[in-house]
Amino acid sequence: MKHEKYHIVRSVKSGSIAEEMEIEKGDRVISINGQLIEDIFDYQYLTEDSHISVLIKKPDGEEWELDIDKDEDEDLGIEFENGLMDDYRSCSNKCIFCFIDQMPPGMRETLYFKDDDSRLSFLQGNYVTLTNMSDHDIDRIIKYRLDPINISFQTTNPELRCKMLHNRFAGEALKKADRLFEAGIRMNGQIVLCKGINDGEELERSIRDLTKYIPYLKSVSVVPVGLSKYREGLYPLESFEPDDAREVLDIIHRWQEKLYEKHGTHFIHAGDEFYVLAGEEVPPEENYDGYLQYENGVGMIRSFLDEAEEAFRSMDEEPEKWPERGKSSDISLAGGLLMDPVREKLLKRLADFYPKVRVRNYPVRNDFFGEQITVSGLLTGQDIVAQLKGKELGTKLFLPGNLLRAGTDVLLDDMTLEGISDALHVPVEIIATDGYEFIRKLVEPSSVEPK
């Protein structure tokens, strides 16, 4: 019997049901309860029952049909060669603001892949434009209750959306959000703001239109377009100036006040970069509605400051948990330009408690992508080395963890922490992105203790 769709077992967890049923690496899972498995969502849904029938094919071609009794929702213990159990869906748009189109040549291949996959939205929090989703995809999201789904709206003006995404179906795709709303699927939204294009009156329109999806649309972030120096031949975009940022914040704050009074949620949130550019203080924690857009750069500064403030309170109220105030050390700290004012502010506070702890703070300019890119996560090892070479770094250099590819010690340009250490002749260590642990690390550079 020929099966067009199958999924190869990469490994089996020790002590699992799969191990007990003698499923092994290299086996092919064909179907569950007679139904072919399209992807990981089918697999998870079909394996929830307490009694299932699994058809597998051994490498020698022998087929086994396994009847399995288990607890509801109990995992079989199978890991597949393809974690999504299907091909990743690439983006069919040509967005005028796409950062991947602004990447220089010669970087590792994975950095050039544009995903627009609703399954990654659910699994990893990626944002999707809806243009790459069929009615079948929407049906499955509703059937399996796959939420929250993160949507890149950009604008609710259909004609403008077609222009921004360079896709003639982009305006029509917005109707898919109506189906998700009607089915009660939770969503989060994003607007990448481009100066003179979807800001001003268009931003007002988008916010007004998106409020119809409350309460299932939980939040919408407004973040400034990132412009690298590699934009030759691309749509001409301008960077936001301080006055522009203040205008954006005025619109957002006005809507927040109105929506909080009516719905009890602030709903629309500005990315931290707008506050830094405008020279304004970030709002208090309660304005972020539980930090729903934290991973999108919304509220990171506020959270970091509040966590650090907790550390300073602890120094006052529980001094026995901290090193003696006379402790001395000489260390250094580096990161992107965006967080530099925050780092400086905290280091001044720290000096009040530990005057002999010297921390040199080095803001690193992004020469690789261009000076307009200010976040630490897009810094490269070569820029760090070039700008810190010959500087006084003390006994250790601390770098923020968001520099690294997940689960590795490798930066965007494939330079490692060890490579940076060798080039600068100083030990290099990652410092926490949690404000409390950030402060503790600076006064106890040899170890980090839990709160």
Q: Is 264 domain-assigned? A: yes
CA 256/CA 261 separation, integer angstroms: 8
Confidence of residue 39 (pLDDT cuts 50, 70, 90): confident
C-alpha separations of 308 from 15, 304, 314, 443 in Å: 43, 6, 10, 13
pLDDT at residue 108, rounded to an integer: 73
**Average pLDDT of the segment spanning 89-116:** 75
Q: Based on the fold, state whether residues 114 and 197 are members of the same structural domain.
A: yes
CA 341/CA 348 separation, integer angstroms: 11
**Average pLDDT of the segment spanning 9-28:** 92
Residue 325 has pLDDT above 80, yes or no: yes
* Three-state DSSP state, 257: helix
Residue with tokens 């307490």: 50
pLDDT at residue 1, rounded to an integer: 46
Report the CATH number that the domain containing residue 41 is assigned in CATH. 2.30.42.10
**Average pLDDT of the segment spanning 438-450:** 72
* DSSP codes of every residue in 315-355: HHH-GGGS--TT--EEEEEEEESTTHHHHHHHHHHHHHH-T
Q: Is 249 domain-assigned? A: yes
pLDDT at residue 107, rounded to an integer: 73
* Residue 369 structure tokens: 């992508």
Q: Based on the fold, state whether residues 344 and 439 are members of the same structural domain.
A: yes
* Three-state DSSP state, 151: strand
pLDDT at residue 451, rounded to an integer: 38
**Average pLDDT of the segment spanning 18-26:** 92
Report the percent of the chain where pLDDT is more than 90. 70
Q: Based on the fold, state whether residues 38 and 187 are members of the same structural domain.
A: no
Q: Based on the fold, state whether residues 158 and 258 are members of the same structural domain.
A: yes
Q: Based on the fold, state whether residues 75 and 144 are members of the same structural domain.
A: no
Residue 249 has pLDDT above 80, yes or no: yes
pLDDT digits 0-9 by tens, 154-163: 999 999 999 9
Residue 441 has pLDDT above 50, yes or no: yes
Of 49, 80, 111, which residue constitutes the final position of a domain?
A: 80
Q: Is 384 domain-assigned? A: yes
C-alpha separations of 317 from 304, 312, 428, 450 in Å: 20, 9, 32, 17
Mean of pLDDT over the chain: 90
Task: Determine the distance from the C-alpha atom of residue 183 to the mean position of all C-alpha atoms in its chain, rounded to a whole number.
Answer: 26
pLDDT at residue 125, rounded to an integer: 62
Residue 121 has pLDDT above 70, yes or no: no
Range of the domain at 125: 100-298
Lowest mean pLDDT among 30-39, 118-127, 203-212, 321-330: 118-127
pLDDT at residue 256, rounded to an integer: 98
Residue 124 has pLDDT above 60, yes or no: no
pTM: 0.83
Q: Is 91 domain-assigned? A: no
Q: Based on the fold, state whether residues 253 and 205 are members of the same structural domain.
A: yes
CA 395/CA 328 separation, integer angstroms: 12
Q: Is 450 domain-assigned? A: no
pLDDT digits 0-9 by tens, 291-319: 999 988 999 999 999 999 999 999 999 99
Report the percent of the chain where pLDDT is more than 70. 92
Q: Is 95 domain-assigned? A: no
Confidence of residue 115 (pLDDT cuts 50, 70, 90): low
Q: Is 70 domain-assigned? A: yes
28-42, 329-343, 437-451, range with greatest mean pLDDT: 329-343
pLDDT at residue 120, rounded to an integer: 56
What residues form DSSP beta bridges with 78?
12
What residues form DSSP beta bridges with 11?
79
* Residue 252 structure tokens: 């957002």
Burial of 450 (0-12, 13-18, 19+ CB in 10 A): exposed
Residue 410 has pLDDT above 80, yes or no: yes
Per the model's pLDDT, the better-predicted residue between 276 and 38 turns out to be 276
CA 442/CA 438 separation, integer angstroms: 7
Confidence of residue 4 (pLDDT cuts 50, 70, 90): low
Confidence of residue 239 (pLDDT cuts 50, 70, 90): very high
The total of structural domains in the chain comes to 3
Q: Based on the fold, state whether residues 259 and 140 are members of the same structural domain.
A: yes
**Average pLDDT of the segment spanning 170-190:** 96
Burial of 69 (0-12, 13-18, 19+ CB in 10 A): exposed
Q: Based on the fold, state whether residues 201 and 328 are members of the same structural domain.
A: no
212, 262 contact by CB (below 8 A): no
pLDDT at residue 119, rounded to an integer: 61
Percentage helix, strand, coil, to 5, in the chain?
A: 40, 20, 45
Report the CATH number that the domain containing residue 290 is assigned in CATH. 3.80.30
Q: What angle do CA 319, 325, 331 make, to 5 degrees?
A: 120
pLDDT digits 0-9 by tens, 336-390: 999 999 999 999 999 999 999 999 999 999 999 999 999 998 999 999 999 999 9
Lowest mean pLDDT among 78-87, 160-169, 406-415: 78-87
pLDDT at residue 450, rounded to an integer: 36
DSSP state of 82: S
Q: Is 93 domain-assigned? A: no
**Average pLDDT of the segment spanning 62-81:** 89
DSSP state of 446: T
Q: Based on the fold, state whether residues 144 and 249 are members of the same structural domain.
A: yes
Q: Based on the fold, state whether residues 277 and 148 are members of the same structural domain.
A: yes
Q: Based on the fold, state whether residues 329 and 355 are members of the same structural domain.
A: yes
115, 125 contact by CB (below 8 A): no
**Average pLDDT of the segment spanning 2-14:** 81
* Three-state DSSP state, 75: coil
Of 298, 316, 340, which residue constitutes the final position of a domain?
A: 298
Q: Based on the fold, state whether residues 251 and 333 are members of the same structural domain.
A: no
**Average pLDDT of the segment spanning 48-77:** 90
